[in-house]
């Protein structure tokens, strides 16, 4: 069983792509609606909430958990991988992965396996705009990971503090449009020529309003939306670590929420019409 976690509905954008690719696999998705949104919470709280959800998924039988949430990945992944997991009862058998590194690898066209100090992307001088929650942007993880691979890239960061919550609350399109327009204008004002080469939608909720980002970004800006990127990377990981697929042919999709299952199911169907119903975690 493979676990996918998000604070709310955003991770479904990733899960939907994964479940289409791994049609025979058994997935369990956990959304922490009791605490969504995570993006404006203190870091320690995000770590505690994320760890509790990963533990829950492990207890339910998932051996591999993907944090389908940039905020949780940016703030909690390293602490979970380096401090918590190695000293837990799941050490050596279970793993937890995030979605920032695959996104950065796609943006910089520098796969994890690239080791040559002379690889051509090292001289890349693009400008990349990153849109995310307050906590993701404050963590600085996107610029850090981008510059490790491409030190000459200019990274512009833009907090969209209220956007994930507004998407989760199903606010009217006109309100979402204003929030996206403000974020994009603020990001463009940070560039020298107003033309970022790429824009990373660094929050799993944002693909749900990708059309609004497209409306306000310059036509030449390539938008990187995570679901396909993350699924490509996850597929590659599972090729190398096929043990996580062994015995994993239940072909079941279980959707869990710490919130109200009826309310959450109704909201989820707005962007995934035939999605299964949520159950109480």
Residue selected from 2, 3, 4, 6 as contacting ligand DGL according to rule CB under 6 A? 6
Whole-number Å distance between alpha carbons of 118 and 25: 39
Instruction: Give the shortest CB-168-to-ligand DGL separation in angstroms.
Output: 7
The site map against ligand DGL for 7-36 (x = CB under 6 A) is xx-x-------------------------x
Residue selected from 5, 22, 38, 244 as contacting ligand DGL according to rule CB under 6 A? 38
Residue selected from 77, 129, 164, 176 as contacting ligand DGL according to rule CB under 6 A? 164
Residue number with the smallest Cβ distance to ligand DGL: 39
By beta-carbon proximity to ligand DGL, the closer residue of 71 and 248 is: 71
Choices 172-180, 199-207, 214-222, 232-240; region in contact with ligand DGL by CB under 6 A: 199-207
By beta-carbon proximity to ligand DGL, the closer residue of 40 and 177 is: 40
By beta-carbon proximity to ligand DGL, the closer residue of 32 and 56 is: 32
- Across the beta sheet with 253-257, what order do the strands follow? 95-97, 64-67, 2-6, 27-31, 253-257, 279-280
Choices 23-31, 37-45, 80-88, 90-98; region in contact with ligand DGL by CB under 6 A: 37-45
Residue selected from 15, 69, 129, 230 as contacting ligand DGL according to rule CB under 6 A? 69
Catalytic residues, which ones? 69, 203
Q: Where are the alpha helices (DSSP H) in 200-247?
A: 210-216, 226-240
Number of residues that bind ligand DGL (CB under 6 A): 17
DSSP string computed for the chain: -EEEEESSSTTHHHHHHHHHH-TTS-EEEEE-TTT---TTS-HHHHHHHHHHHHHHHHHTT-SEEEE--HHHHHHHHHHIIIIIGGGSTTTTT-EEE-SHHHHHHHHHT--TT---TT-GGGG---EEEEEE-HHHHHHTHHHHHHHHH-TT-EEEEEE-TTHHHHHHTT--HHHHHHHHHHHHHHHHTTSSSS--SEEEE-STTGGGGHHHHHHHS-TTPEEE-HHHHHHHHHHHHHHHTGGGGTT-----EEEEESS-HHHHHHHHHHHSTTPPPPEE-
Is 204 near ligand DGL (CB under 6 A)? yes
Residue selected from 50, 71, 198, 257 as contacting ligand DGL according to rule CB under 6 A? 71
Residue selected from 50, 70, 158, 221 as contacting ligand DGL according to rule CB under 6 A? 70
Site for ligand DGL in 140-159 (CB under 6 A): none
Choices 119-127, 181-189, 198-206, 242-250; region in contact with ligand DGL by CB under 6 A: 198-206
Q: Which parts of this chain interact with ligand DGL (CB under 6 A)?
A: 6-8, 10, 36-39, 69-71, 133, 136, 164, 203-205
């Amino acid at each position: 069983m493979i676990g996918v976690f998000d604070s709310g509905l955003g991770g479904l954008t990733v899960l939907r792509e994964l479940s289409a690719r791994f049609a025979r696999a058994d997935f369990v998705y956990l959304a922490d609606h009791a605490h969504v949104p995570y993006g404006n919470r203190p870091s320690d709280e995000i770590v505690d909430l994320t760890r509790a959800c990963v533990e829950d998924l492990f207890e339910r039988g998932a051996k591999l958990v993907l944090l389908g949430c940039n905020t949780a990945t940016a703030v909690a992944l390293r602490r979970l991988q380096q401090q918590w997991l190695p000293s837990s009862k799941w050490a050596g058998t279970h793993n937890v992965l995030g979605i920032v590194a695959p996104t950065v690898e796609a943006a910089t066209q520098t796969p994890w396996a690239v080791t040559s100090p002379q690889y051509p992307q090292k001289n890349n001088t693009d400008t990349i705009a990153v849109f995310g929650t307050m906590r993701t942007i404050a963590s600085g993880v996107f610029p850090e990971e981008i510059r490790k691979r491409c030190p000459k890239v200019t990274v512009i960061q833009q907090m969209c503090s209220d956007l994930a919550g507004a998407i989760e609350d199903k606010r009217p399109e006109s309100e979402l449009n204003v929030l996206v327009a403000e974020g994009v204008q603020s990001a463009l004002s940070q560039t020298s020529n107003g033309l970022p080469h790429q824009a990373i939608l660094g929050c799993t909720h944002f693909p749900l309003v990708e059309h609004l980002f497209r409306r306000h970004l310059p036509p030449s800006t390539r938008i990187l939306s995570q679901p396909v990127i993350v699924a490509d990377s996850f597929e590659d990981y599972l090729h190398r670590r096929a043990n996580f697929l062994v015995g994993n042919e239940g072909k079941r999709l279980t959707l869990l929420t710490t919130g109200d299952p009826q309310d959450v199911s109704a909201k989820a169907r707005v962007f995934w019409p035939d999605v299964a119903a949520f159950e109480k975690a």
